[in-house]
Structure 1
Amino acid sequence: MSTRELDAAGITDPELRAAYAASKAINARHGRTYFLATRLLPLADRPAVHALYGFARVADDIVDGSLPKAQQTIELLALERTMWDGDQPVLRALADTVRRYRIDRSLFTDFLTSMRMDLHVRDYATYDDLARYVYGSASVIGLQMLPVLGTVSPRDEAEPYAAALGEAFQLTNFLRDVGEDLDRGRVYLPLDELAAFGVDRERLRWARRTGRHDPYVRRALAHMVARTTAIYRRAEPGIAMLRPWSRPCVRTAAKLYRGILDEIVAADYAILNQRAVVPTGQRLRVALPGAAASIGLAAGQNARAWALRLTSRPRSPRNASIGMPGSDSSAVNSQRRISLVE
């Protein structure tokens, strides 16, 4: 991890710096879209995002790995039991992030509850059933992120929008990965809605196996893309509730993930044998305006910080909020430089 990010976040302990670096490496390796959007955050906020992603990925790798189910269950239970002990680098970074940003620990318990569902639940009868899984696997991620991103509105007002955006991201993943999930024996599309279009698990398997275009599958997927698009629209007002320097990151992530839906439509929903991905050039075209906005916001914050220093009396340390997570202090803002290549 960049020493500038760690320095900006005030992370000085060598072991802790190594722990955050390990989390960032996981994010860079597995979360291409997520990682790119993270580059639009202020330097000081990035380590926390990497820590949250790293933990989620460790749990996800357990349930998607090749170990026997009994061993997967044991490992998930061990992860939950030792989550706050910091006995491995990713957990050490997570515990530090939760402490710094005062994130509700119950959100991580809810997350692991959904991860355990992956070990024994292979499909969901209705969307309401699926929604219970999605809350723990994705909506809580949005809620975990809110203290890091910061809000200009009361946080509880922004929470439904953050949860909805996490839901939209997860549903997009389900659509993108429907073929791969089917190979794992899982269907993350509500069975009653599939049935309404004449589709069942066997029909999906047939389309996956033969690679043939199936108009019934196409109509079912089109319905689910439309619903996911509507959830993105429902989540969008929440971006304006974030601190200004966090908005470019979240807006870019939303555009990139919605771009996956656009690719699904462009492929005429023939995605059971090919993964819909946003091309690298297009991802950069989406990200660059966000980078420009982030740089502009950082420059504006720096100019205001200097003006305040020239026109204001210094605040006493007792009243200052310098260095506090989520603070709007000028000292913190002066370090909010943006880099896409660092």
Structure 2
Amino acid sequence: MSVERELDAAGIVDPVLCNAYRRCRELNAVHGRTYYLATKLLRPAQRPAVHALYGFARWVDDIVDEVHDGRTPEQRAAELSEVERRLRAGLVDGTSDDPVIMALLDTIRRYGIDEGHFRDFMASMRMDLTVTDYATYGDLARYVHGSAAVIGLQVLPVLGTSVPRAEAEPAAAALGIAFQLTNFLRDVGEDLDRGRVYLPADELAAHGVDRALLRWSRDTGRADARIRRALADQVARARAVYAQAAPGVGMLAPRSRPCVATAYRLYGRILDLIEEADYDVLSRRVVVSTGRRLVVFARAALARSA
């Protein structure tokens, strides 16, 4: 379906606002292959809002994550501060001259999304500028709340629920966390190249693993049994969080369940692939194949139309 039909279905007609939503859709299409595919299972009227939420998150995440693009840490910090300033001003004024923030503000207004979720998100993104590791899971959880749990809470009003929203919020937050923990495991090597480790240091140390050993494995491409055991524990934690999130799919509005169930299956599949690779995530990046994504999507689309 064309972006114009999605915007029409959502009742978005102002030309400037339409262009803002188009920009967010482009960000989602380029950077979020799994999310973008799953979004196609939503009703057309829901899609622009999801694109706006994801587009903003992707934009800010890129500011702190693209550490090899020539920008200094000070430049990235200044850019993040400018986004934060524009967001705060937009929340007061109700609009913005930045297209991504403009679409985000419109989505916040349309769906009554708690503005505090975006403040929490920005706080976690700012941590990425200075924090390079986490001593305990409790420390990591504070980061993950703003970087992931609130994403699930932002999207929930757009998806709709079949139960009171407050009842569905814990599962929505858990699903955001599960996706983030999966990303941490898949991207151990890439994050290490950025100077970061998103795995609790005390839990790694319990297996004799530290940053130096991870760096050695990354640089040499050689596996280590201690790393495998440490990562196996982290995969087990991620699976436990997926289990906490699973009941939330049934709490969503029926029209939204295929989308979230598809993302749930595809992201959960990454954990399977990590296990199948014998936890070798430092010499390569495991990915769900395009064919697999399309099969899962097709089954969900058929189930939705049945």
What is the TM-score normalised by the length of structure 1? 0.85
1:164-193 CA-to-partner distances (Å, cap 9, x unmatched) read 000000000001110000011000000000
Q: Are residue 80 (structure 1) and residue 84 (structure 2) matched?
A: yes
Structure 1 gaps of 5+ residues are 297-342
- Residue 122 of structure 1 deviates from its aligned partner by 0.2
For structure 1, which segment, 85-94 or 64-73, has the greater mean C-alpha deviation from structure 2 after superposition?
64-73
Q: 1:121: which partner in 2?
A: 131
Q: 1 CA distance for matches of 2:154 and 2:299?
A: 26
User: Aligned equivalents of 1:199 and 1:47: distance in 2?
Assistant: 44
State the distance in 2 between where 1:190 and 1:53 align: 27
What residue identity is the alignment partner of 1:70? E
Report the CA distance between 1:284 and its aligned residue.
Answer: 1.1
> Which amino acid is 2:130 matched to?
H
Q: Which residue in the other structure is 1:183 paired with?
A: 193
Report 1:250-261 matches (<5 A).
Answer: 250-261=260-271
Structure 1 or 2, whichever has the larger Rg, is 1
Could you tell me how far apart the structure 2 residues matched to 1:212 and 1:287 are? 35
Q: Is the 8 A contact 1:191 1:200 kept in 2?
A: yes
Tell me by how many angstroms 1:264 deviates.
0.5
Structure 1 counterpart of 2:290: 280
1:18 aligned onto 2:28? no
Aligned length: 296
* Preserved CA contact (<8 Å) 1:213 1:270: yes
214-223 or 57-66, which deviates more: 57-66
CA distance in 1, matches of 2:31, 2:76: 20
**Contact 1:110–1:136, Cα closer than 8 Å, also in 2:** yes
**1:138·1:167 contact (CA, 8 Å) conserved in 2?**
yes
Structure 2 counterpart of 1:12, one-letter code: V
Determine the C-alpha separation between the residues in 2 that align with 1:177 and 1:15.
37
CA distance in 2, matches of 1:255, 1:273: 25
Distance (Å, rounded) in 1 between the aligned partners of 2:191 and 2:259:
28
1:74 and 1:212 map into 2 onto residues whose CA distance is: 38
From 64, 68, 75, the counterpart of 1:71: 75
Task: Give 1:6's aligned residue.
Answer: 7
State whether structure 2 residue 52 is matched by structure 1 residue 42: no
When the two chains are superposed, the root-mean-square deviation of aligned CA atoms in Å is 0.9
> 1: CA distance between counterparts of 2:211 and 2:109?
44
Moved more, 281-290 or 95-104: 281-290
Q: Is the 8 A contact 1:41 1:294 kept in 2?
A: no
**Stretch deviating more after TM superposition (89-98 or 66-75):** 66-75
Distance (Å, rounded) in 1 between the aligned partners of 2:303 and 2:219: 45
Residue pairs, 1:1-342, within 5 angstroms:
2-65=3-66, 66=69, 67-83=71-87, 84=90, 85-296=95-306
Identity level (%): 64
- Per-residue CA deviations over 1:188-219 (Å, capped at 9, x if unaligned) read 00000000011000000000011111000001
Report deviation, 1:293. Answer: 2.2
Q: Cα offset for 1:290?
A: 1.1
By how many angstroms is 1:285 displaced?
1.2
Structure 1 CA distance for aligned equivalents of residues 43 and 65 of structure 2: 32
Q: Give, as a single letter, the amino acid of the residue that structure 2 aligns with 1:45.
A: Q
Which moves more between the two structures, 81-90 or 42-51? 81-90
Displacement over 4 Å in runs of 4+: none
Structure 1 residue matching 2:46: 3-state secondary structure:
helix
Q: What is the TM-score normalised by the length of structure 2?
A: 0.95
State the Cα distance separating 1:295 from its structure 2 match.
Answer: 2.3
Residues 127 and 190 of structure 1 are in contact (CA less than 8 Å); yes or no, is this contact kept in structure 2? yes
Task: Give the SS at the match of 1:270.
Answer: coil
Residue 43 of structure 1 aligns to a residue whose secondary structure is: coil
- In the TM superposition, residue 4 of structure 1 has moved relative to its aligned partner by 1.0
In the alignment, residue 289 of structure 1 is paired with which amino acid?
R
Residue 289 of structure 1 deviates from its aligned partner by: 1.4
CA contact (8 A) 2:222 2:283 kept: no
Q: CA deviation at 1:294?
A: 2.3
2:73 corresponds to which letter in structure 1? Answer: K
Any idea what SS the aligned residue of 2:246 has? helix
